Amino acid sequence: MSVSSPPIGTAGHRRRGVIGRVRRTWWVRYIASRLAQGLIVILGAVTISFLLVGASGDVVEATTAPTATPQEIQQRKHELGLDRPVLERYVENVTNIAQGDFGREYRSGRPAIDLVMTALPNTVALVLAAVVFAWPIALAVAFMSVLKRGTLRDRIVRRGLIALQGIPEFWFGLILVVVFSINLQWFPSFGFNRGLWSLVLPAIALGTPLIPTLVRLIRGQLLDFMALDLATALRAKGISDRRIVVAHGLRNVLVPTISFLTMQLGLLLGGTLIVEAVFGWPGIGQLLLSSIAGRELEVVQAIVVVIACVFVALSLVADLIAFAIDPRIRRGAS
C-alpha cells in the first residue's frame, strides 16, 4: 500500500505544510519566548539596580573634594545629569545600556563594561574550576551512597555532608591556605599568576560547599531510578546494582544535574566575593567590592546587569541541554 501525498495546492497539502512548519519551528518559538522572558528579567535588573544606585546616597558629595562649594557640587550634578527628573534619567539609562553603554568609571575614566568584561573571565574560570572539582566527587559519593544505602559508611558520609555544607567559605579558605600554602607549601596562597596551580585552592574553597547539594540531588534521582520497574527488570536479568547505577542511572540524573549546575553557575558568578577576597582573585566579586567602596555606581550597575544577562543565558542553555538529552521534555514542549 502506498501512501500518497495530498496534491499540491489542496487543503490537505496546505495543512501538512503548516504542521510541518509548526513542528520545525516549535523550538524556535520556545527559544524566542524564553528570550523575551529573559529580556524582562534583564530590564528588571536594570531597573532595580538603577533605583538602588539612586537610593544609595549622594554620589557627588562622596566623590568631590570636601571643600567643594555648593556651586561646584551643583555643577558636578549637572555634568552627571543628576539634576534631571528621575524618569528622564531612567529612560536614558535603559537606552544607553541597550546600546552597551554603561557609563564610565569616575576615577579612571574607563568604560564600566570594559572593567566588568576584564574581570568576568577570571570569575568564570574560577567557577568552572569549582564545578569541575565538585561534580566528580559528588557523583562518586552519590553512587557509593546509593550502592551502600543504609550502611554505616553511607550514614557517616551523609552526616559528613551536612557538616560540610555548614562550613563558612571564609574560614575554609583560610584553613586551606594554612594547610596547603603555609604548612605544606604545595599551592600559592593567593593570586592567579601561577596558572592552573593558582586555581586549585580557590576552586576547592568555592566548590566544596557545592558537593553536599549535588550529592543529595544525584542520590535522590538515583534512588528514584532504582525504584522503577525498569531497574527491577534489569536486576531480574542478573545485572548488578553497580552496573545498573553506572550504565543506566547516570543518564537519568544528567538532566536535573546539568540544570542544577547551570543555574548554580549563575549563582556562583555573583557569589564568589568571599573566595575572591581570601585568595586575592581579581574577579567580579573583587570588582564589586572595590566599586561599592569607591562609589563607582556605574560599575556596580554594569556588574548587576551583566550577571543578570549571564543568568538568563545560562538558564536558556540549561533548557536547551535538557531538550537535547531528554525526549520527554521535547514531547511536552511540542
Partner 1 sequence: MGQHGRDPVGIERIDRRTFVLRMGAAGGTAMSVSGLLAACGGGGSQPARTGSPASGTAPDPPARPTGVLRAAYNQAPESLDPALGSSALNIACNVYGGLMRFDARGRLVPGLATSVTSDDEATEWVFELREGVRFHDGTELDASAVARSYEHYRGGTSQWAYLIPPKVEFDASDPGVFRIKSRVPVPDVGRNSPIIHILSPKLLAKGKDAAATQAAGTGPFKFVSFRRNSSVVLEANEDFWGEGPYLERLEWAILNEPSARVAALRAGDLDFVYKVGPEQLPPVAGDGSLTVVTDTPWTGTYLILVSDVGPLANPLVRRALAHAIDRQALIDKIALGQAEPLQSLLPAGTYGAVNPSTTYAYDPDESRRLLAEAGVQEGDLTVKLAANPALTTRDLQLSQAIAQMMSDVGIRTSSDVAELTDVVGSVFTGPHKTVPDWQGLTGDLGWLNGGPVFVQTGYLTTVSGYDPAEYQRLANAALTTPDGRARERALAEIQELVATDVPVLPLYQPKISSAMKADVYGYRNPADAWSTYFGTVYRGA
| Binding residues vs partner 1 (CB under 8 A) | 56-58, 61-68, 72, 75-76, 105-110, 115, 118-119, 173-174, 177-178, 181-182, 185, 188-193, 277-280, 282-283, 286-287, 289-291, 293-296
Residue burial 218-232, b: 16+ Cβ < 10 Å; e: rest: bbebbeebbeeeebe
d(CA 237, CA 204): 41
Which CB, 218 or 287, lies closer to partner 1? 287
DSSP label at 64?
S
Are 296 and 162 within 8 A, CB to CB?
no
Chain position carrying cell 562609589:
295
At its nearest, how many Å lie between partner 1 and the CB of residue 102? Answer: 15
For partner 1, the closer of residues 220 and 282 by Cβ is 282
Task: In angstroms, give the least distance from the CB of 53 to partner 1.
Answer: 12
Q: How far is the CB of 84 from partner 1 (least distance, A)?
A: 20
Q: How far apart are CA 185 and CA 189, in angstroms?
A: 9
In whole angstroms, the minimum distance from the beta carbon of 67 to partner 1 comes to 4
* Residue 38 CB contacts under 8 Å (≥ 6 apart), including other chains: 312, 313, 315, 316
CA 40, CA 92: separation in Å to the nearest integer?
17
For residues 66 and 100, which CB has a smaller minimum distance to partner 1 in the complex?
Answer: 66
Give whichever of 109 and 195 is closer to partner 1, judged by the CB atom: 109
104 in helix, strand or coil? strand
Q: How far is the CB of 300 from partner 1 (least distance, A)?
A: 12
Q: Taking a C-beta distance cutoff of 8 angstroms, is the pair 69, 61 a contact?
A: no
In angstroms, the CA 176 to CA 183 distance is 10
Minimum distance, C-beta of residue 31 to partner 1, in the bound complex (Å)? 36
Q: Which is nearer to partner 1, 80 or 137 (CB)?
A: 80
Task: Name the one residue in this structure whose C-alpha cell is 528621575.
Answer: 86
Of 74 and 213, the one with the shorter C-beta distance to partner 1 is 74
